[in-house]
A and B are shown apart, each in its own frame.
Chain A
């Protein structure tokens, strides 16, 4: 048993980097001051879709302090395009804007004031184009204009439609499956935005014969690769600095304006800096809204016979990673159940809206909302308890619930039962209240590659190098804890180095709740390499066979005595000092024929249970108790796990009861910014929030850990909606469940009854 009182694994150690965060000393990107820097401001139009006739920069250039006004004409031609999935996003709008807020030009000036003033003076002669694609219906309408130029989609049979891709998954024969009851409904999931409190920021500067780029990015190595490709520079000449992001949630995964900044830095020969406003981030990232139609076939006893999905996800004008969100999310649409026949059709639809991208849950919240709500409807019709129906169909450990993929990797029933127990499922309800319970499951990474270097320095202190981005999930802390556990060094003597691609070895990315598992294993292996070197050192020093020496937790055990590791290190290194360096690699290889390119490294499994009441006068939902239970394998740091689960749960309440982007008829966001777009505050919390973990040490990460951080968000919506149904009798299939929507549903139902 590992010690909970230590700083090693299983301890609620204080956050590494916490000191800087409570003193204001932590340097986020916007806090870094580059000498001689130019400030950049973007030029945009107040419409979604326009043809650009001409751009006059004369007046802007006359503003004192302006050094550059860059337009697409100043870029290589054709304007370079980039993207993590398709190379579809131009560095600046190319002859046409395709969404409200798309940058057309950018000003660089000596001061922010001058840049802002000049940006207002850039004259863009343009023609607003009518008939934009702003909804799923628009995107599916063959009469709508094409968002993406078919020339950019060679050999694509869908090139003359607004469907970027269609995905089909499934097994068994849905048509032949004999169901006693078929429940069919459509569910809508709203468009929401990440709203990280740190707006996205970017800097770039010439660096010798290469370039340095700073970004609030989750994937610094992907950015390095893209900048290298766009500028035709070798990787070794592209240095990416990635300071800890002030919240990411998926919105900061992929490069956005860094290529523009790189061109501006090279053009001016000076450092350039662009910090977006919060309003601009609304036009930079969001989650795909979705309409999901689901048919569920049941036997009379509640056994699932088939599930049949048609999911339409509304992506933006450029795909970013949205199509991967659609495929990976919809692939698991049938959930963690034993279903003999499944058919899934999912579409990634283009629109004249800001690009949608990864967002905590990665497509799973949309399909979970539909699937779990439909299960509840089936249970109600069949007269079966909703918990019992789920348990009856839930996959057992080791069951291949998606044929050909990773089998169920947890005792999932335990998770569900714990959530049910904590909410008091089956106990009498106070009048006016309702309960709901829903299950979410998400694949961890399907491929991955992480390297870590660990240096044991001459005085027994440790440097851990990790290319993960610590955006609040606490990666630094858990990696330090792994090193502490393995090398027996207290946390105060360990530093974790991140955020510089010229110093830290490669990591594929920070996403899909992967880092504790993949980078965690890389750190673990690097530490074990150091242990092996100490073993060899001790064998040489004391003339003992290596096999007779054991190195564990900072102690070197010889047959006749035990020596502190540091003593062996000092003796072995000798007068010149030096250090031991360990390298660790963790790889999750692709599977060529797999529909997603690889199997799930693990599953994030969560059960959420809600008890609430609805104010009959206002439609306001009062969440009395919110229970979220996640199968985490092993909690490396319980207080951080609770923080992530609480946060995911509350973020889930955001899109469930309050958050949604509202568009006007021209495709502009009407509720842009913090005044009109509300996210949960300390006054919007459940009366009681209970986060619990199931720990069976059955994950693939160090000490049995699985990924966490997304699970507690996945099933919030259906659990809340089911509780609303029990409390009021109303079935609402559109989110969010705002007071207005709930009140209107109550009014309509009263009218019908009356």
Chain B
């Protein structure tokens, strides 16, 4: 049996006490222990961005963090973007712009975009492309994703 540790973490607004294997990544724990499967697994080396989540408001590759590292932190996943079943303006903009094709990268794109707009509420195209450069989309819907982020920014508060 592997070593376990208990961590305390706020996930999508709810305080949780979780026993985690010390060698498991935040991604493992989100998907396998908490069954929050909206966060996706692809490259597991921090290059594709499919597993992007917010840790204390910062966009992080959850495949590169051990779960024990988020002890005492606040984690937001894609499941935490909508409130009371109402989509966030960013999610709405992704739908309106046709930004989600196969959709597998979209959770990560949304979280990276969310972090970007928190830092830069009204980004330029270049700033969006720079801010999302760590999130691969093989459908290559980059034009639509960028447009969605700009639309959400224009729409004001998120």
B90 → A minimal CB distance (Å): 8
- Of the candidates A26, A278, A644, the one whose C-beta lies within 8 Å of that of B43 is A278
* Listed stretches A228-236, A286-294, A660-668, A675-683; interface member: A675-683
A17 proximity list for chain B (CB < 8 A): 103
- Of the candidates B79, B98, B103, B104, the one whose C-beta lies within 8 Å of that of A12 is B98
- On whether the beta carbons of A474 and B101 are closer than 8 Å, the reply is yes
B101 → A minimal CB distance (Å): 4
Residues 31-61 of B at the A interface (beta carbon under 8 Å): 32, 35-45, 47-48, 50
Q: What's the Cα separation between A646 and B139 when bound, in Å?
A: 9
- On whether the beta carbons of A674 and B130 are closer than 8 Å, the reply is no
Instruction: Decide yes or no: A647 and B78 within 8 Å by CB, A27-B37, A198-B40 being known contacts.
Output: no
- On whether the beta carbons of A113 and B21 are closer than 8 Å, the reply is yes
B135 proximity list for chain A (CB < 8 A): 681-682
B139 → A minimal CB distance (Å): 5
B65 proximity list for chain A (CB < 8 A): none
Mark A734-752 against chain B: 1 for CB-CB distance below 8 A, else 0.
0000000000000000000
Residue B132 at the A interface, CB < 8 A? yes
A685 proximity list for chain B (CB < 8 A): 129, 142-143
Mark A634-655 against chain B: 1 for CB-CB distance below 8 A, else 0.
0000011011101111110000
- Of the candidates B37, B48, B128, the one whose C-beta lies within 8 Å of that of A31 is B37
Q: What's the Cα separation between A248 and B138 when bound, in Å?
A: 10
Residue A392 at the B interface, CB < 8 A? no
A640 proximity list for chain B (CB < 8 A): 98
Instruction: Decide yes or no: A24 and B39 within 8 Å by CB, A643-B139, A643-B141, A646-B140 being known contacts.
Output: yes
- On whether the beta carbons of B104 and A15 are closer than 8 Å, the reply is no
Instruction: Decide yes or no: A674 and B143 within 8 Å by CB, A639-B98, A683-B129 being known contacts.
Output: no
Instruction: Decide yes or no: A23 and B91 within 8 Å by CB, A196-B138, A674-B45 being known contacts.
Output: yes
Residue A260 at the B interface, CB < 8 A? no
Q: What's the Cα separation between A84 and B142 when bound, in Å?
A: 34
Mark A19-57 against chain B: 1 for CB-CB distance below 8 A, else 0.
111111111101101000000000000000000000000
Mark A181-204 against chain B: 1 for CB-CB distance below 8 A, else 0.
000000000000011111100000
Q: What's the Cα separation between A680 and B96 when bound, in Å?
A: 24
Q: What's the Cα separation between A430 and B53 when bound, in Å?
A: 44
Residues 104-149 of B at the A interface (beta carbon under 8 Å): 104-107, 110, 128-130, 132-146
- On whether the beta carbons of A249 and B138 are closer than 8 Å, the reply is yes
Mark B144-158 against chain A: 1 for CB-CB distance below 8 A, else 0.
111000000000000
B107 proximity list for chain A (CB < 8 A): 24
B46 → A minimal CB distance (Å): 8
The secondary structure that dominates the B interface is: loop
A245 → B minimal CB distance (Å): 7
A198 → B minimal CB distance (Å): 4
Nearest neighbor of A198 in chain B, beta-carbon distance: B104
- On whether the beta carbons of B132 and A674 are closer than 8 Å, the reply is no
Q: What's the Cα separation between A651 and B135 when bound, in Å?
A: 15
Q: What's the Cα separation between A246 and B1 when bound, in Å?
A: 34
Q: What's the Cα separation between A679 and B146 when bound, in Å?
A: 18
B102 proximity list for chain A (CB < 8 A): 196-198, 244-248, 471-472
Residues 101-145 of A at the B interface (beta carbon under 8 Å): 112-113
Q: What's the Cα separation between A474 and B102 when bound, in Å?
A: 8
Interface residues on A, range: 35 or more
- On whether the beta carbons of B44 and A277 are closer than 8 Å, the reply is yes
B155 → A minimal CB distance (Å): 15
B54 → A minimal CB distance (Å): 13
- Of the candidates B103, B110, B146, the one whose C-beta lies within 8 Å of that of A246 is B103
Residue B75 at the A interface, CB < 8 A? no
A194 proximity list for chain B (CB < 8 A): 138
Q: What's the Cα separation between A644 and B98 when bound, in Å?
A: 11
Instruction: Decide yes or no: A195 and B47 within 8 Å by CB, A22-B91, A471-B102 being known contacts.
Output: no
Residue A577 at the B interface, CB < 8 A? no
- Which of B87, B94, B143, B146 is most buried by chain A, counting CB atoms within 10 A of its CB? B143
Nearest neighbor of A21 in chain B, beta-carbon distance: B103
Instruction: Decide yes or no: A23 and B82 within 8 Å by CB, A30-B37, A682-B133 being known contacts.
Output: yes
Residue A14 at the B interface, CB < 8 A? yes
Residue A732 at the B interface, CB < 8 A? no
Residue A554 at the B interface, CB < 8 A? no
B79 proximity list for chain A (CB < 8 A): 23-25
Q: What's the Cα separation between A62 and B77 when bound, in Å?
A: 38
Q: What's the Cα separation between A228 and B105 when bound, in Å?
A: 34
Nearest neighbor of B144 in chain A, beta-carbon distance: A643
- Of the candidates A197, A639, A648, the one whose C-beta lies within 8 Å of that of B104 is A197
Residue A729 at the B interface, CB < 8 A? no
Residue A210 at the B interface, CB < 8 A? no
Q: What's the Cα separation between A25 and B91 when bound, in Å?
A: 13
- Which of B21, B47, B77, B97 is most buried by chain A, counting CB atoms within 10 A of its CB? B47
Residue A564 at the B interface, CB < 8 A? no
Residue B67 at the A interface, CB < 8 A? no
A251 → B minimal CB distance (Å): 10
Residue B81 at the A interface, CB < 8 A? yes
Q: What's the Cα separation between A113 and B35 when bound, in Å?
A: 17
- On whether the beta carbons of A681 and B133 are closer than 8 Å, the reply is yes
Residue A673 at the B interface, CB < 8 A? yes
Q: What's the Cα separation between A648 and B143 when bound, in Å?
A: 12
Q: What's the Cα separation between A644 and B96 when bound, in Å?
A: 16
Residue A689 at the B interface, CB < 8 A? yes
Q: What's the Cα separation between A669 and B26 when bound, in Å?
A: 29
- Which of A471, A673, A681 is most buried by chain B, counting CB atoms within 10 A of its CB? A681
Residue A18 at the B interface, CB < 8 A? yes
B35 proximity list for chain A (CB < 8 A): 33
A213 → B minimal CB distance (Å): 20
- Which of A18, A244, A249, A673 is most buried by chain B, counting CB atoms within 10 A of its CB? A18
- On whether the beta carbons of A674 and B43 are closer than 8 Å, the reply is yes
Nearest neighbor of B91 in chain A, beta-carbon distance: A22
Using a CB–CB distance below 8 Å, which chain B residues touch chain A?
Answer: 1-2, 21, 32, 35-45, 47-48, 50, 77-79, 81-82, 87, 91, 94-98, 100-107, 110, 128-130, 132-146
Q: List 15 A-B contacts (CB under 8 A).
A: A15-B98, A24-B36, A24-B39, A197-B42, A197-B136, A198-B42, A278-B43, A643-B139, A643-B141, A644-B101, A646-B141, A674-B47, A679-B138, A682-B133, A682-B145
The 6 residue pairs across chains A and B that have the minimum distance between CB atoms: A24-B38, A246-B104, A472-B102, A21-B103, A674-B47, A650-B140
Q: With A113-B2, A198-B40 given, name 17 new contacts (CB 8 A).
A: A15-B95, A18-B95, A22-B94, A23-B81, A24-B36, A24-B79, A25-B79, A197-B48, A247-B104, A639-B98, A642-B144, A646-B140, A674-B47, A674-B48, A680-B142, A681-B134, A683-B129
